[in-house]
Amino acid sequence: MAKFIVDGNRRLQGEVDLQGAKNSALPIISATLLCSGESVIHCCPIISDINASIQILRYLGCSAKLSDHTLIVDSKDMNRCDIPENLMNEMRSSIVFLGAIIARKGKAKLYFPGGCELGPRPIDLHLSALRKMGVIIDERYGLITCRVKDKLHGAKIALPFPSVGATENIILSAVLAKGTTIISNAAREPEIVDLCDYLVKCGAEIYGAGESTIYIYGVDNLTPTVHTIIPDRIVASTLMAASAVTGGELILNGIISSHLDGVIPLFEEAGCNIKVRNSKLKIDSPNRLKPFKSVRTMPYPGFPTDLQAQFMALMTVSEGASLVTENIWENRFMHVPELMRMGANINVHGHASAIVRGVKRLSGAPVMATDLRASFALVLAGLAAEGETVVNRVYHLDRGYEKLDEKLRAVGADIERIKEAD
């Protein structure tokens, strides 16, 4: 297991190129199953979640080759419709293969994704939507066994919550279904729009992606295409946080600024000066951040839950008290005790809100990464802290951030990856 050693209290300065969005790439990789033939996906991040998806593609009988951020998938010879337990466990989001496997093969057999560090990970919304579209589902012995009676058919689906994964699975199964599917209260994330852009290039008929109601008119077949994954808005915001927490000045290359509309005002509230020009963003940060009045996680276009931990790290060293409310996941404050080991002053109320009172300086300490985003929050705290921080279990971080240590080092951070035997 690898760990990071961060020697903090250094101002970051320089330019960083963004990686492609993990949460776009995963459903798009699954969507390559729908077009029998060779798909080419550019700007694929080189991270462990993408490697797990490639393993699933190969298990299903497809060929998949990732080289220099371009993934070439040939799904012509797909000959299986199941995903074994070890591959399901490798990555919780492997459930996004469900809709595509059913649409391609008329049946699917997957293991239930277990709970994870964020709390329970139910898939009831995915399954009830698929049932409405004519899928017969048996849930027993930890397995989800699905078969389509005649042909997958369109349906009107009103989601009680705009679940990202459920919206993706419905889209993936509806594009080849007979008739029209209307999803109301759909997730509106840019990653959903990217998935739909990809599918439309393949010949799918989808209208309303990025809005609350999505209309999908089923077509008979899709043809493979070439697509470029959008830049990762969560990685972009996390790097902005790295500038903010170190009083630094970073330039990010390759952003889509509209995807950052919900977070730029918060950085400005904290005293950062942000300039955006085309696909470049420059963030210039003050020596000490102002507190945030209130940060509440919400479905897009609200403030992303995937940035809550990183913003909490900023609050720990800001000049006053900030309130954080987590509305999406039941258990997403696992970073709190770790930040407190570094001297942060945080009071958690129930499981959904916390008051963070900024301290002048954190002090380095050994801490444990608990999930992907929480891991980066600890790196941020380490960058701001006096002395050495050891972040253990960085395999969480490798799921979503490509060459993070190298990128931070290039802009002045003192961070080192130490590999240890398991």
Please give the C-alpha separations between residue 97 and each of 263, 305, 413, in angstroms, as whole numbers: 30, 23, 38
Is residue 335 part of the contact set for ligand EPZ (CB under 6 A)?
no
> Using CB under 6 A, which of the segments 130-138, 158-166, 210-218, 219-227 binds ligand EPZ?
158-166
Its sign, for the CA torsion 343, 265, 413, 391, is positive
Cβ closest to ligand EPZ, residue 116 vs residue 418: 116
Q: Burial of 298 by CB count in 10 Å (0-12 exposed, 13-18 middle, 19+ buried)?
A: middle
Question: x/- string (CB under 6 A) for ligand EPZ, residues 379-408?
Answer: ---------------------x--------
Cβ closest to ligand EPZ, residue 10 vs residue 399: 399
Contacts 24+ apart (CB under 8 A), 272-276: 272/240, 272/243, 272/244, 274/240
> Using CB under 6 A, which of the segments 136-144, 164-172, 201-209, 350-358 binds ligand EPZ?
164-172
Q: Which of residues 164, 206, 362, 413 is near ligand EPZ by CB under 6 A?
A: 164
Cβ closest to ligand EPZ, residue 28 vs residue 125: 125
Indicate the Cα dihedral angle 102, 105, 109, 114, nearest 10°.
-40
Distance between CA atoms of residues 5 and 254, nearest Å: 28
Cβ closest to ligand EPZ, residue 62 vs residue 166: 166
Q: How far is the CB of 151 from ligand EPZ (least distance, A)?
A: 24
Is residue 47 part of the contact set for ligand EPZ (CB under 6 A)?
no
Catalytic residue among 116, 196, 202, 272: 116
Q: How far is the CB of 348 from ligand EPZ (least distance, A)?
A: 18
Q: Which of residues 19, 21, 23, 322 is near ligand EPZ by CB under 6 A?
A: 23
Distance between CA atoms of residues 110 and 300, nearest Å: 29
Is residue 317 part of the contact set for ligand EPZ (CB under 6 A)?
no
Size of the site for ligand EPZ (CB under 6 A): 21
Q: Is residue 116 annotated as part of the catalytic site, yes or no?
A: yes
Is residue 124 part of the contact set for ligand EPZ (CB under 6 A)?
yes
Per CB under 6 A, residues contacting ligand EPZ are: 23, 26, 93, 121-126, 161, 163-166, 305-306, 328-329, 372-373, 400
Catalytic residue annotation: 116
